Structure 1
Amino acid sequence: MATEIEVGELLHQRGWRTAFTVADRVKAWAALVSLIERGYGDDIYEYTNDLYCRNWLHEAWIPLDEHIVQLWTPQIKALDNRYKAATVDDDGQAIDQFHRLPGPDLWWWRRHPRILTGDLGHALRSAGATGVDPDPA
């Protein structure tokens, strides 16, 4: 099993732009979940780019040392639960209009924010997504 630094380097060699740490990606996932809960207003391309922080965590879990996995799993599960509560499961139909969906084990790609606002909201609505409009105009 690999250390956090070794996994960061391994994933960087596999194409990730830098050698992230688990803390980096958990912080990014937490920030994204908070934005989604309030209403993610950026565009669809930023949104899909932001989702990759969760992909990194998924990829890192396999080679990571079991102790590190046990240490971080409760926080990640709590964030995953918040993400599920702030999103709608549409089996990825809306996001798939803009970004090729990864494998089914990456479940977060098959959900979209419940609050549809800003550029992301417009794009997802155009792809058939339904949700809450925080300021109907």
Structure 2
Amino acid sequence: MATETGAGELLHQRGWRTAFTVAERVNAWAVLVSAIERGYGDHIYEYANDLFCRNWLHEAWLLLDDHIVQLWTPQIRTLDERHKAATVDDDGIALDQFHRVPGPDLWWWRRHPRILTGDLGRSLRSAGAIGADPDTA
């Protein structure tokens, strides 16, 4: 099992653009979840790019020492629950119109924001997503 630095380096060697730390990716997930809760309005491709922070955590969890996993898991679980509360499960149908949705173990790709606003909202609505208008949410 790897240390945080070792996992970041290994994932970087596997194609991630940099050797991220767990703290950086947890923070990125927290920022994304907060944005989704408020109403994520950026472009759909930016949204897809932002979702990859959770992919990194998923991949890192398979490599990290148990004590690091135990340290960070409660915070990630809390963020995951907030994400689930702020999104709608459509099995990835709407998002898949714009970005290939990965397998079912990456569940965050199979959900879209409950509040559909801005560019992301327009794109997802065009793909059949149903969600709340930010003015009524």
Unpaired runs of 5+ residues, structure 1, are none
For 2:19, give the aligned amino acid.
Answer: A
For 1:80, give the aligned amino acid.
Answer: D
Other-structure match for 2:14: 14
- What are the Cα deviations for residues 28-79 of structure 1, in whole angstroms up to 9, with x where unaligned? 0000000000000101000000000000000000110000000000000000
- The equivalences for 1:100-115 within 5 A come to 100-115=100-115
For 2:100, give the aligned amino acid.
Answer: R
Other-structure match for 1:87: 87
Cα distance in structure 1, aligned partners of 2:5 and 2:128: 42
User: What is the TM-score normalised by the length of structure 2?
Assistant: 0.98
User: What is the TM-score normalised by the length of structure 1?
Assistant: 0.98
What's the Cα RMSD here?
A: 0.7
Where in structure 1 do 4 or more consecutive aligned residues deviate above 4 Å?
none
SS of the counterpart of 2:112? strand
Unpaired runs of 5+ residues, structure 2, are none
Cα distance in structure 2, aligned partners of 1:11 and 1:40: 28
For 1:100, give the aligned amino acid.
Answer: R
- The equivalences for 1:56-135 within 5 A come to 56-135=56-135
SS of the counterpart of 1:88? strand
For 2:109, give the aligned amino acid.
Answer: W
SS of the counterpart of 1:93? coil
Q: Number of paired residues?
A: 136
Cα distance in structure 1, aligned partners of 2:106 and 2:38: 23
For 2:48, give the aligned amino acid.
Answer: T
SS of the counterpart of 1:20? coil
Q: Percent identity?
A: 82
